[in-house]
Chains A and B, each alone.
Chain A
Amino acid sequence: MMHLAVALDGAGWHPAAWRSPDARPAELLTASYWTDLVAIAQSGLLDFVTIDDSLTIQSASPRRLDDRTDQVRGRLDAVLIAARVAPTSRHIGLMPTALTTHTEPFHVSKAIATLDFVSTGRAGVQVRAGGSAAEAALFGRRPSLDREAPDFDPAAGQQQTIDRFDEAADYVEVLRRLWDSWQDDAIIRDQTSGRFIDRKRLHYIDFEGRWFSVRGPSITPRPPQGQPIVSALAHVTPAYRLAARQADVVFVTPRTEDDIAAILCEIQHETGQLARPEPPLVFADVLVFLDPDGPAAQSRKARLDELDGRELMSDSRIFAGTPAQLADELVHLIESGYDGIRLRPGALPHDLHAISSLLVPELQRRGVFREQYTAGTLRGQLGLERPANRYQTA
């Protein structure tokens, strides 16, 4: 069985998607826009949605702020969007992005634990290491190298990249330790002794690393899943290494037949360096324009390209075609060893509707996708056990 997720961001992954006839560009900052999207995704029985985020304002250039006025600018905090949609949904996993470079792991740990409480076991988090100079300027605490400066030193840039991913690995370590810092049975409400908790079942995490030290325990009890799902997007070796060390799910971007095998090989290599029993679940990202009629999807994409003034570029494979054609590609990925697919809808809500109402039935006809939700938690959905607490001694 394949796992299927969607990545939600703004009006969709095409920069001109907001100009589609059925787009809702004036509502991107409203709760109802997001509750509607998540409801559509849930109607397709998808495993989870990711909700993208960034600390800097969107830009057509990866490293600089731009002054374009013809693309979506402005967004909401992804963790709070996920929290807002949690009570309005029942089955689908909710995985907001959290940025690891300038934020506090203690805050993010309790936020994701709380998301797990408010969604009764459907929380995850996609961690993302930052690093741009523009992002650093928003905080003013730690400078980042300006990669477009005339005196930029590539070797230093490479080291910074490695450091930021190492920091992200430390960050996830702190998230995980804090989630375990309360044993499941820590709250005892013992009338006889007058004790609310058994303090022996709470644990200092005493993490000390290069970038931060965190004492613990968390202020929030262990969440319903024990450990919410941690994911990361990876294109480069330090990111594959981070995923191998710390992620339950890794999103990757195979674009060619060669990539399909090479990426799996690299993840296996990184995982093999570790004592980890199970490798992370590998999800291939595909950016999709989906219509019952293939030429319609292609011309829709072409029209958006024209509006944006250039052809869409992406780190992931870009697909424009019919549900049957897409299903063929996805089945091929699964047969090649991928655990799941994360689709990036080119335009919202159009392509999300198509995923839930056209692609999913096609996959079900082929017997490769679920007919109903059966698990109560996101971990369960992904076939992952509720993990033992690292601090609990038998």
Chain B
Amino acid sequence: MSETTKQVHLAAHFPGVNNTTVWSDPASGSNIEFSSFAHFARTAERAKFDFLFLAEGLRLREQNDQIYDLDVVGRPDTFTVLAALAAVTDRLGLAGTINSTFNEPYEVARQFASLDHLSAGRAAWNVVTSWDAFTGENFRRAGYLAQDDRYSRAETFLRTAFELFDSWRGDEIVADRQSGTFLSDPTAGGFHHDDAHFQISGRFNVPRSPQGRPVIFQAGDSEDGREFAASSADAIFSRYSQYDEGRAFYSDIKGRLHRYGRSPEQLLILPAATFVLGDSEVDAHEKADWIRHQQVSGQTAIKFAEQLWNRDLSGYDPDGPLPDIDPDLGENTIARGRASVRMYRDPLAISKQWRELASTKNLSLREVVIEVTGRQAFVGTPDSVASTINRYVQDDVSDGFILVPHLVPGGLDDFADQVVPILQERGVFRTEYEGSTLREHLGLGKLDAHTPSAMVAS
């Protein structure tokens, strides 16, 4: 156990294009109009959250060779929305996923450096690698990458971006009218990078931004991904919000840091977490159950089952039993543009587990899907949810959570009004922002403006 009380970190994920969002709810607003993003961001800032987060998807999902139409479809451009949100907030961090496959280091670095300037030091970058040819059909660089090349490219991409961020020390712009010296260094921004992935040179044209570089997030969970995060990330967007798995992940990751000369506070573990609040525990659980049923309609349940079975199951009744046939093994072709299908590494074994669950609890196909997919992380009264979140953080399940509400734009409102004040009362969550940059909110030290990012050296 920690000797001192840890401070909880909280962030908000504007929910994207999966079945988390209950779009059929009358309170469900636009997922595209800027007013939705502005409301969501202002709520997060009112609640003194660390940051707002936007995910990425660069091709509309398909299933059975058709555009998937049961969930929210469509989203705006991440950089553009984050820059606009900088105008309606003052302190909230602005984080976005930008992949390293369908972009080049030079343009991503200048976009993040620009966002960091325009938000006065609030930008964060969740670095991911895509590798599917399906998404690549929308791009010049339709780059399919072998599994082995993925982290190598992501790592190199990030290191190259760091070289660009560090190509300005931060003190070059003098702008002295009298002497006529705008720049103290005629070579400011100069860089030269040459490796297997990138051969680029010139002068980076965005001077050093307030944070030096965006805060770096990483989300991968493989051995390579964990090591990459330990070496290079400021925070991990983890999927382990449950107690035991969370603690295991937390200690695994924090245990890797010393190898890179880093201390545990230099890498935050922030799992995504859903929540449901109620007036009583019973009320909250009833609401949670209702929401799960909205999220997993009969049609949606069939689609989920198809992703595991890797075949058309449209003839099956969602309120009937699971299919009695086995999943189609081999490459999953039924659903495209969806990361979750890759998690079914052993479809045969998983289908067996599903059948056992169905027979033990006497569940229909839909009820099984409701059981096995995405249960809410925190369900209860504001008081019990605050207690659980705090306990998890103090017990090193995580350093905080990235909350994913099931509605926009108002899905955070109750949490902000009811849970945050309790955490504040208990002295584990800020009542005012102490700093102005996201690095400061996260308790990350200031990067030394005059030396390259230490962790890049390898």
Contact = CB atoms under 8 A, between A and B. Distances in A.
B177 A25 contact: yes
B180 A19 contact: yes
B15 to A, nearest CB: 13
A219 B186 contact: no
Interface in A59-110: 65, 67-77, 79-81, 83-88, 102-104, 106-107, 110
A294 interface: no
Contacts of A338: none
A74 B207 contact: yes
6 contacts: A67-B186, A83-B81, A104-B103, A141-B104, A217-B67, A219-B74
The listed residue with most B CB atoms (<10 A of its CB), out of A25, A88, A103, A110, is A110
B111 A77 contact: yes
Interface string A110-128: 1101110110100000000
B69 A75 contact: no
Contacts of B204: 57
Chain B interface category by residue count: 35 or more
Interface string A324-354: 0000000000000000000000000000000
B251 interface: no
Given A18-B175, A80-B80, A217-B60, A56 B205 contact: yes
Interface string B80-120: 11011011100000000000001110110011011101111
A196 interface: yes
B202 A80 contact: no
Given A31-B86, A72-B182, A106-B139, 15 more contacts: A25-B175, A68-B186, A69-B186, A70-B180, A76-B206, A77-B111, A83-B80, A83-B83, A84-B118, A87-B88, A137-B201, A137-B202, A140-B201, A213-B137, A219-B57
Interface stretch (A187-195, A234-242, A256-264, A357-365): A187-195
Interface residues of A, number: 78
A180 to B, nearest CB: 14
Interface stretch (B5-13, B31-39, B144-152): B31-39
Contacts of B73: 187, 196-197, 202
B69 A216 contact: no
A18 B75 CA distance: 39
A210 B370 CA distance: 48
Given A196-B70, A197-B73, A221-B32, A111 B102 contact: no
Contacts of A107: 77, 102-103
A214 interface: yes
Nearest to A30: B117
Contact of A199 (B24, B58, B69, B114): B69
A104 B67 CA distance: 23
A197 B74 CA distance: 10
A76 B69 contact: no
A219 B86 CA distance: 23
Given A31-B86, A104-B140, A189-B23, A114 B203 contact: no
A91 B233 CA distance: 41
Given A55-B106, A69-B184, A19 B70 contact: no
A388 interface: no
A80 B83 contact: yes
A152 interface: no
Interface in B107-141: 107, 110-111, 113-115, 117-120, 137-141
B206 A220 contact: no
Contacts of A71: 182
B199 interface: yes
A54 interface: yes
Nearest to A212: B140
Given A26-B173, A138-B106, A211 B185 contact: no
Contact of A73 (B77, B81, B177, B183): B183
